[in-house]
Amino acid sequence: MAQIFHRSANTLARASILGVVLLLSAVGAALMEFQRSPYVTAQHIAPEQPVPFSHQHHAAGLGLDCRYCHTSVEDSSFAGIPPTKTCMNCHAQIWTNAPMLAPVRYSFSSGQSLQWTRVHDLPDFVYFNHSIHVNKGVGCYSCHGQVDAMPLMYEENTLQMEWCLNCHREPEKFLRPKEKVFDMRYQQPSIAHAVEVDGKSYTSQFELGKALRQKYHLRTSQDITSCSTCHR
Amino acid sequence: MSNKSDSSPNLISANQIKPASLELEAVRKKLAEAKGPKYWRTLEELSDQKAFGELLEREFPRQASEWVDPVSRRGFLKLAGASMALAGLAGCTRQPLEQILPYVRQPEQLVPGKPIFYATAMPFHGHALPLLVETHEFRPTKIEGNPLHAASMGATDLFAQASILNLYDPDRSTTLTHMGELRPWGEFAMALNSEVRARKALQGAGLRFLTGAVSSPAFGWQMKTVQQSFPQSKWHRWDPVNRDNMRAGSKLAFGGYYDPIYKFENAAVVVSLDADFLSGAWFPGFVRYARDFMRGRKLENGDQMNRLYVAESSPSTTGAKADHRLVLRPSEVENIARGLAAKLGVAVTAGHLSGDQQKWIDALAADLMEHKGKCLVVPGEFQSPAVHALTHAINGALGNIGQTVSYIDPVEVDPVEHGQSIRELIADMNAGKVETLIIIGGNPAYNTPVDLEFVKALDKVKLRIQFSSYKNETTDHMHWHVPETHYLEAWSDARSYDGTATIIQPMIMPLYDGKSAHEALSAFTDQLGTSSHELVQTYWKSQHPTVDFETWWRTAVHDGFVKDSASPARQVTPKIAALPALPAADPGAIEVSFRPDPTIYDGAFINNAWLQETPKPLSRNTWDNVAMISPAMAKAWGLYLLNDENDHQSDAQRILEVEFQGRKVEVPYWPQPGHPDNAITLFLGYGQEKTGRVGAGTGYDAYKVRPSTAQYIGAGAIITVTNRFWDIAVTQGHFSMEEREPVKVANLEEFIKNKNFAHEHPDEEPKDGGDRQESLYPNFKTKENFYQKYAWGMSIDLNSCVGCQACAVACQAENNISVVGKEQVQRGREMQWIRIDSYYEGDPANPSVYFQPVPCMQCENAPCEPVCPVGATVHSTEGLNDMVYNRCVGTRYCSNNCPYKVRRFNFFLFADYDTPSLKLGRNPDVTVRSRGVMEKCTYCIQRITAARIASEKEDRDVRDGEIKTACQQVCPTEAIVFGDINNPDSRVRKIKDGPRRYDLLAELNTRPRTTYVAAVRNPNPKLASGTERA
Amino acid sequence: MAAPDILPPKGVRPPIIGPGQTFGTITDRIAGIVLTKHTPVFWVLVVAFAAALFGMLQTAVAYLLFKGTGIWGITIPIGWGFAIVNFVWWIGIGHAGTLISAILLLFKQTWRTSINRFAEAMTIFAVMQAGLFPLIHTGRPWLAAYWLFPIPNTMGIWPQFRSPLIWDVFAVSTYFTVSFLFWGIGLIPDFATLRDSAKTLVVRRIYGMLAMGWRGSAKHWNRYETAYMLLAGLATPLVLSVHSVVSLDFAVSVVPGWHTTFFPPYFVAGAIYSGFAMVLMLAIPFRYLYGMQDFITLRHLQNSAKVMLATGMIVAYAYGLEMFMGWYSQDKYELAMVNNRLHGPYSFYYYMLILCNILIPQSLWLNSVRSTPWKLFLVAIVVNTGMWLERFVIVVMSLQRDFIPSSWGMYWFTKWDMMIFIGTMGFFTLLFFIFIRLMPAISIFEMRTLIPQAKVKE
Amino acid sequence: MKAGPGPIFGLMAEFETPTELVHAAKGAYAAGYRKMDTYTPYPLEEAAEAIGAHHNRVSLIVLIGAMLGMVGGYSLEYWVSVIAYPINSGGKPFHSWPAFIPVTFECAILGASLAAVFGMLALNGLPQPYHPVFNAPNFVRASKDRFFLCIEAQDPRFSPSDTRKLLESFQPEEITEVPY
């Protein structure tokens, strides 16, 4: 009888089995990466905006406090996007006819809102509340990153659930004194420079975090990882 | 969260007191275009190619207000399609870019993302219910009672709760029309002005106004001025459900019109002669009365509780709560009243009384004599004037006047007897005396007495103008139709049942260019174009010339009422001169009762989907009205009964043909236990030919057989059983408790003998907050540190619950609960999170009736949780049974395994994703559930979270009573109490520690956080049982 | 084609393989079915019909995904309806295959050899039908498809392993995999046979690949046999565990009528019962249409019938026990459940079930019934109907009336329920007939061992 | 076919019955041949014993597979329910070991079965679509009704002439040289 396969078929057959296995695991790995990729999360991507507003210029450059524009951040779930009026407070005097600001002026005259594109956008079934975080010593920085170094606003973190859990499980890793919440230059305590709270100085974030957690009466991690904390 | 609030400014601009910013135009245009779908419409209607492509992108619908910008408008179609949405892949799919629109100028009192509450009131047929309205960025989203106001004390009724849906109803009249053609306001104004001038020349001859009962002082004042400049003009009144009998009765007794005000808190014995004061809004003062009455039955301190005797001709929730219920045919009530009066020394004679009736009267009379001055007899709104007169006399004889009842000048402006008033109008119309007819509100073409033939007469009128928020039957016969504002859209004022005046402030600018009743009249006072705001203010200024008006106005508006404006009690003494002779009742004749429908009233709410889907308290049917007959009659006719074998969620009910005074109507019957024999109860309001998509094709029209001579009661109906059937949708399959005692009840003596009657079996020993007895399970409280800080719990007092359904509607409003429609209800897929079961026990001719509200029990050992494969329902550290919609894949195992069956499933895309106006009304703090997801009561988790966050920011604990669940807040009888059971001083803790507390299905050891307080009835020992046959 | 069945004289059991067979004849007869050029007419007809039903299934499922589970009859309180009934029914049917090949193999029941191959195929196809339902019955299948498995995700959330539904996912998928492997390695030597007996190079190549170069070496056979035996040893507890786990879907709950400890054995017995009924429903037409009376003899039919009789009695016992326990517990809910079975709105189905699963199968005591294929065929159909009704009674009648009377409800199935149910039957038949045409429906190499020449004489 | 030039794989003898084959195999084994194999249309234990190949390591592999599956399954459940994200589900303990048994069991079975099948294939060196023995002219019948004994050329005692003589002593149907 004649062979129905060539010698090479053997190698081929075994190689193909190996190949399938490798391929599948590769696809799996790729998907894992994909769902965390900026393409999906929009992390580090600055979207088009009607006006190229620079937080760097306003916050770092001019030293405006976050709350000058985001007025309701301390007492509402929503931090607040400044009304056109707020822009005009200054821009009625300076840069009065900078072409860049045309949309702002138009909005003010026509009464039509500026249409910003949302940068930090959580799914609708997630109920995030700014005020409680701010009031418990979670700095703007912890979620929004070095905003005062962003010429154009972008999303610093993925805002995915696993990311939220990082902090809800161990808040002490991120807590800072309330008065430092809006301080973009604040540094976590280190041997190099200590942080003073109630006359006691801390050199490790862990120590400080534990202390603050006590001080601000944070709920237990078990509490704040209950589903209904964020979902209703 | 924020994305619900941030983009809403556009809507606010819809509210800024300066008219029409550009967005507002956009809003209105959208609303005008909005050919909104049926609420329960589902997917097939909106498979849109693009939408389909974008399905992946979102799990839950964008919420309120988002529709304004084009980008996400498309998002909506997508989402509508997205029930199919490969939803929830959120984890690994991109989110679409989303717009965010800040204000241009932000109103200073507004904090985006935080609700603001405004005081106002809902005018309701001659009286008003004081309210607080929750608004998000100036969109009213939820209605509560005004706690500062004596007529509400924080509670409301189902009509008030649901009225907000009428505001956003896409089927409201949106356009001004002339003979059905669109016309601009200006053109109408011109036409009107010329007419006004013409009439003025004629002293107003031929000018007639037709409205319902009005309690608005400003409107009354306007009317007066109109009367002055148009002396010949007349103001007619017509409400199909009016207080004519009460008025006539008070004329009989006092020779003038007075409104009785009851003080149930002072009454140890209450007698209702067909008076349904525990049923709902059509009994003025219901909210307050129910609370006062039930406070007498809480047994919280001591063993004292009041006693209620009810003699009634049609089963009502009041009858259901009675300690002694006497079943009577409508005509017999007056006879009983006479009998009682005679016994108590009023100079009247009764007709023949049956043995039982005599016995009943004797015992009752004795009981009343024992409690002179501490008892109360209440006449039914729908009973004959004589009954009213007699009860006044009886109360007089018992020295109750001033103690438990007092009389004030009518709250209604310029009170008249509507039956008479409409008869005059129609007579004049026929006589050609009416040239111009202005109809404000109402729907006379549909609901005026059939024998008067209003429509025929109408055609003789030269100019007919209608101000109405709906285009209805009447509109067809009008020259001009002007959309009328909703009470949340325009300034006005009103008076509650006790006379206290409230300034009605609007929450939002008119969505559809509507005009208020005040503006309607303004044309006749040469003030056309003046805003309601001005008109109302002018009136009140004139009333308070001396005070600093600005501050006076601000406080009045802020508090929601005018201080000390309650009417003073009049010193009156009833005298029975000559009562009309007792009409001879033929025991063989079938008597008819006409009653307002328990949920859609006189038809005004027919297009309100929440109310349509709210089960009628006793029959539990929805989307239709039934005709109640007694089980005995049904049996005699070989019709089926409630105790038949099959459970009947949806039934093809046999159709009866009811002929009354030569007119016929076809009705589906309902064998109502406790209904008198040889009598039939027809409910008004359904069967409207011209209404919105919700009301269309629902129910039968009882007005077709309702003559002016028998507005509420008539004898001599002829009933034929047809071979045709009517599908009705009933939410409860089975009305017998099947010896399972979900409702525990005892008589007062039994209770005093054995305080623990509710939980005698060891299994039923209450267990709370993780303080467990022996169990194989770990103790989560001590071992895992659960339930340490707060442990939320609820207690429901079955003694207090009157089954008024307000909680169900409140919950629907608070939690964005979808409406599913009749066909789905028939399949048993209704969505209301809290249901009120009603059970009948004993002789179907006069059974004991029990109500039991059943929300989620929030069991500590929740059977639903371990069976969920994805952990979509799990326990929170505060003991809540969290339902995570976005995690749910919809296996429905949790529902199967829930012994209380309190879980609801989105079998289709029930939520309406694309009717813009409806989105405005949604609660932005609650997820709108998509298709294929389980949902249930969460103890209003959004309210808990809000309160907890508030307390944490102030570094304190949540105070007891700080959190009120929607159902608790609305409840007129305080039957529902919610709070932290870890807190020994909390109200709920105290109640749960009380003897009558019991757990539903305790033997399953689910350890529910929602527990019940067993009912106690207080029958008169001298009367055999709580239930006698007539 | 069909050689008539000759009943042997009393007391003599029919042979397990017809007389006069040699290695060659066995090989040619069985391989012939596959390698023949011309496809029989009845095959074309059946496949065409089955394909049509399969089309209907696809339509119905597409509509289901588009509209939602609301198109079915399910509601609150009856959250599970046809879908779960069908799931349990199919998975039950899927039990006979592995049982026959594994357990009977361990017991050295040589008669299994001529039916195990297609019994295994039947298992796999039945499990495929069954597997369809748990997925599509969820509200959001596209999510269930990956949230039910422990796949890493950005939410940091995992399946909830206390849920019997998760056990189900693992049990059914394991069962499918193992049955598939079992069936697959059983086929390798036969593929080799086909490879070597095929005429055209293409066909030989195709079967050649499937045979993976099997050459019947003694060393290979040796390892092969060990592996096969071990698989059988593994499949045996597996097959028992699968339906036990399925039964736990119910037994773990609190629903009266579900919450019972004897569900696992009861379900397993029922599964074997319906499984063997299905084997007969397939074997009888097959042996007739392809003239396989010599290979699938009356002996096989009789034995299957006996197994049915035995398991049927166990099931009958379980029904009795269910009623007895209900009464014995004197628990008001259990009593109500019993009462509902006997007098409730759906009692008709309960009595039908008693008729189909207990009364009619008693005829299997008669040798005449056991030895008459068409009678057996009818009984098998009745039993499978009965087993379906059993699941209907368990699922629907228990949910219909549980604890709180106010929430008692009724269940009406819709045309979509029916379309999907019938559709899966079509899908099943389709797969089965394709299998018959393309693969040896009877294990050739094992048949060879049955004839006298196969023994080594000293 | 003729014994072609070039190396040969071995000498193949074809028999009518299993009995002859086994007798031949025993003989060859006794003659000291080790590198040989028999080819039969169905499993023939005697043949395997005759050529001294009746022990294998499949069972061990299966045991390992089962262990891995079991441990893997349980530890997954434990990690998920106790460590990764412990949730209070109806008051049941985080570590509800009884509820974890079914999945553990299924995983064990799965592991074992996979090990059995793929272990067996691996040990057999399958897939191997090309093999010299297929060159034997009548070898197609090895999967049908003939029994083959092949003594391979690598065997130290192999010599075309002697081996052929030995095989002839068992009166096979035919003896052929199997080329590489």
Distance to chain D for C232, nearest Cα, Å = 9
Grade residue B9 by pLDDT with cuts at 50, 70 and 90: very low
Q: How far apart are CA C276 and CA C96, in angstroms?
A: 6
Residue B423 lies in a domain: yes
Q: Which amino acid, residue B510?
A: P
Smallest CA–CA separation between B983 and chain D, in Å? Answer: 22
Please give the angle made by the CA atoms of B51, B53 and B56, to the nearest 5 degrees: 95
Q: Which domain holds residue B506?
A: 177-242+414-543
- Chain C residues in contact with D46 by the CB 8 A cut-off are 456
With an 8 Å Cβ cutoff, the interface of chain A facing chain D consists of: 1-10, 13-14, 17, 225
Which of D106, D123, D140 is the C-terminal boundary of a domain? D123
Q: Are residues D103 and D140 in the same domain?
A: no
Count of alpha carbons within 13 angstroms of residue D155, beta-carbon side: 22
Q: Specify whether D105 is located in the same domain as D148.
A: no
Q: Which of D142, D154, D172 is nearest to D23 (CA)?
A: D172
Tokens of C327: 């009464």
Count of the separate structural domains present in chain D: 2
Alpha-carbon distance values, B154 to B288, B495, D113 (Å) = 10, 17, 68
Looking at the domain assignment, is residue B917 inside a domain? no
Find chains touching chain A: ≥3 CB pairs under 8 Å: B, C, D
Q: Which of D116, D127, D128 sits opposite C231 (nearest CB)?
A: D116
Distance CA C388, CA C90 (A): 9
Residue among C153, C195, C215 with most chain A CBs within 10 A, to mutate: C153
C82-93 helix and C113-136 helix, angle to the nearest 10 degrees = 160
Contact between chains at C154 and A160 (C-beta distance less than 8 A): yes
Closest CA–CA distance from residue B814 to any residue of chain A (Å):
13
Chain C residues in contact with D131 by the CB 8 A cut-off are 213, 215
Q: Is the pLDDT of residue B728 over 60?
A: yes
Whether B1030 shows a pLDDT value over 90: the answer reads no
Please tell me which residue of chain C has the smallest CA distance to B52. C66
Q: Where a domain ends, among B679, B695, B730?
A: B730
Contacts of C381-385 spanning 24+ positions with Cβ under 8 A: C381/C277, C381/C281, C382/C356, C383/C273, C383/C274, C383/C277, C383/C308, C383/C312, C383/C356, C383/C357, C384/C93, C384/C274, C384/C277, C384/C278, C384/C281, C385/C356
The pLDDT, as a whole number, for residue D78 is 95
Distance CA B820, CA B909 (A): 9
Of D96, D123, D150, the one marking the end of a domain is: D123
- B393 band by pLDDT with thresholds 50, 70 and 90: very high
B946-971 burial string, b = 16+ CB within 10 Å, else e?
bbbbeebbeeeebebebbbbbbbbbb
Q: Are B107 and B116 contacting, i.e. CB atoms less than 8 angstroms apart?
A: no
pLDDT, one tens digit per residue, over B110-141 is 888 888 899 999 999 889 999 999 998 888 99
Cα gap B622→B614, rounded to integer Å: 6
Does residue B901 contact residue B857 with C-beta atoms inside 8 Å? no
Smallest CA–CA distance, residue D99 to chain A, in Å, is 22
Residue D111 maps to a domain: yes
Question: What is the reported pLDDT for B512?
Answer: 87
Which residue in C153, C155, C201 is closest to A4 by CB distance?
C201
Interchain CB distance below 8 Å, D89 and B860: no
Cβ atoms B132, B105 nearer than 8 A: no
Q: Do B647 and B697 share a domain, yes or no?
A: yes
Residues β-bridged to residue B211: B237
Rounded to an integer, what distance in angstroms lies between the CA atom of residue D104 and that of residue D112? 12
Asked whether residue B291 is domain-assigned, the answer is yes
Tokens at D101, concatenated: 């048994």
Question: pLDDT grade, residue B70 (50/70/90)?
Answer: very low
The answer to whether the CB atoms of C219 and D106 lie below 8 A apart is: no
Indicate whether B426 and B400 sit together in one domain.
no
Among partner residues C154, C157, C213, which is closest to A36 by beta-carbon distance? C154
Q: Is residue D2 part of a domain?
A: no
pLDDT tens digits along B767-823: 555 555 566 777 888 788 888 889 999 999 999 999 999 999 999 999 999 999 998
Domain range spanning residue D102? Answer: 58-123
Chain B residues with CB inside 8 Å of A160's CB? 91
Q: Which residue has the tokens 């942080």?
A: A195
- From residue A173, alpha-carbon distances to A138, B530, C196 in Å are 10, 62, 70
> Tokens 């005429």, residue?
C199
HSE-CB of C42 using CA atoms within 13 angstroms: 7
Smallest CA–CA distance, residue A161 to chain C, in Å, is 5
For residue B44, is pLDDT > 70?
A: no
pLDDT in tens, B705-724: 999 999 999 999 999 999 88
Q: Are residues B382 and B422 in the same domain?
A: no
For residue B932, how far is the Cα from the chain centroid? 30
ipTM for the complex shown = 0.92
Looking at chain D, which subunits does it touch, using at least 3 CB pairs closer than 8 Å as the criterion? A, B, C
Residue B851: predicted pLDDT: 94
Q: What is the pLDDT of residue B93?
A: 55
pLDDT of residue B774: 62
**Chain C (70-89) residues lying within 8 Å, Cβ to Cβ, of chain D:** none
What is the domain count for chain B? 5
Q: What are phi and psi of C67, to 5 degrees?
A: -100, -40
Question: Under an 8 A CB cutoff, do D143 and C241 touch?
Answer: no
Give the CA count within 13 Å in the CB-facing half-sphere of B583.
18
What is the per-residue pLDDT across B863-899, written as a single tens digit (0 to 9) for each? 999 999 999 999 999 999 999 999 999 999 999 999 9
Could you tell me if C442 and C292 are in contact, meaning their C-beta atoms sit under 8 angstroms apart?
yes
> Six-digit token pair at B771?
């303080």
User: A198-202: which pairs have CB atoms within 8 A and are 24 or more residues apart?
Assistant: none
Interchain contact, B909 vs C138, CB within 8 Å: no
- Segment A107-116, tens digit of pLDDT: 999 988 889 9
Q: CATH number, domain at B267?
A: 3.40.228.10
Tokens standing for B53? 């492509």
- Identify whether residues B374 and B483 lie together within a single domain: no
DSSP B758: G
Tell whether D89 is covered by a domain. yes
**CB hemisphere CA count around C396 (13 angstroms):** 25
- B642 or C254, higher pLDDT: C254
- Alpha-helical regions (H) of B230-297: 244-254, 286-295
**E-assigned strands of B866-959?**
873-875, 881-883, 904-905, 934-935
Q: Which residues of A touch B789 (CB under 8 A)?
A: 219, 223
Q: Domain C23-189+236-454: which topology? A: Formate dehydrogenase/DMSO reductase fold (1.20.1630)
Cross-chain residue pair C153–A35, CB shorter than 8 Å: yes
Q: Determine if residue B764 is left, alpha or beta; phi over 0 gives left, psi from -120 to 50 gives alpha, anything else beta.
A: alpha
Nearest residue on chain A to D138, judged by CA atoms? Answer: A1
Phi, psi of B90 (to 5 degrees): -35, -40
The better pLDDT of the pair D157, B22 is held by: D157
Q: Which class for D95: exposed (0-12), middle (13-18), buried (19 or more C-beta within 10 A)?
A: middle
Give me the sign of the Cα torsion angle B340, B343, B344, B349: positive
pLDDT of residue B84: 32
Helix or strand holding residue C131 (H, E)? helix C113-136
Tell me, what DSSP letter sits at residue D151?
E
- Taking the alpha carbons at both ends of chain D, their separation in whole angstroms is 13
Selected residue of A32, A37, A85, A113 to mutate for chain B interface (largest B Cβ count, 10 A):
A113
CA angle at residue B780 from B779 to B785, to 5 degrees? 125
The closest CB to that of D43, out of C22, C224, C230, belongs to C224
pLDDT at B23 over 50: no
| Interface touch C155/A13, C-beta < 8 Å | no
pTM of the model: 0.90
Quote the crossing angle between the two packed helices C332-343 and C298-329, to the nearest 10°: 130
- Same domain? For B720 and B757 the reply is no
Q: Kindly tell me the burial class for residue C202, based on how many C-beta atoms sit within 10 Å of its own C-beta (0-12, 13-18, 19 or more).
A: exposed
Domain boundaries, given as residue ranges, for chain C: 23-189+236-454
Mean of all residue pLDDT scores within chain D: 89
Q: How far is CA A107 from CA A83, B9, B22, B928, in A?
A: 10, 13, 11, 32
Residue B727 three-state SS: strand
**Domain-terminating residue out of D107, D123, D139:** D123
Cα A24–chain centre separation: 33
Which chains would you list as touching C if contact means 3+ CB atom pairs under 8 Å? A, B, D
Q: Last residue of some domain: B389, B408, B427? A: B408
**What is the distance in angstroms between the Cα of C207 and the nearest Cα belonging to chain A?**
11
Neighboring chain A residues of D127 at a CB cutoff of 8 Å: 10, 13-14, 17
CB atoms A4 and C155 under 8 Å: no
| Sites in chain D below the pLDDT cut of 70 | 1-6
**Backbone φ, ψ for residue B660 (5° rounding):** -135, 120
* C295 min Cα distance to partner chain D (Å): 17
Quick one: D29 and D67 in the same domain?
Answer: no
* Alpha-carbon gap: B131 to the closest alpha carbon of chain C (Å): 34
Among the candidates B510, B543, B576, a domain finishes at B543
Residue D141 sits at the vertex; the CA angle it makes with D137 and D147, to the nearest 5 degrees, is: 100
Q: What is the pLDDT along chain C (458 residues), one digit of tens a residue?
A: 445 566 667 767 777 787 778 888 888 888 888 888 888 999 999 999 999 999 999 999 999 999 999 999 999 899 999 999 999 999 999 888 888 888 888 888 888 888 888 889 999 999 999 999 999 999 999 988 889 999 888 888 999 999 999 999 999 999 999 999 999 999 999 999 999 888 889 999 999 999 998 998 999 999 999 999 999 999 999 999 999 999 999 999 999 999 999 999 999 999 999 999 999 999 999 888 888 888 888 888 999 999 999 999 999 999 999 999 999 999 899 999 999 999 888 999 999 999 999 999 999 999 889 989 999 999 999 999 999 999 999 999 999 998 999 999 889 899 999 999 999 999 999 999 999 999 998 999 988 888 888 888 76
SS3 A192: coil
**Residue B56 pLDDT more than 60?**
no
Q: Which of B319, B243, B954, B211 is nearest to B674 (CA)?
A: B319
Q: What is the mean pLDDT of chain B?
A: 84
Q: Is residue B691 situated within a structural domain? A: yes
Question: What is the predicted pLDDT for the residue at B239?
Answer: 93
Give the residue from B605, B607, B609, B589 showing the smallest Cα distance to B597: B605
CB contact under 8 A, B949 and A129: yes
CB contact under 8 A, C154 and A165: no
Task: Answer yes or no: do D129 and A13 touch at CB < 8 A.
Answer: yes
Question: What's the confidence (pLDDT) of residue B32?
Answer: 45
CA B740 remoteness from chain centre: 31
A152 pLDDT band, cuts 50/70/90, is very high
pLDDT at B185 over 50: yes
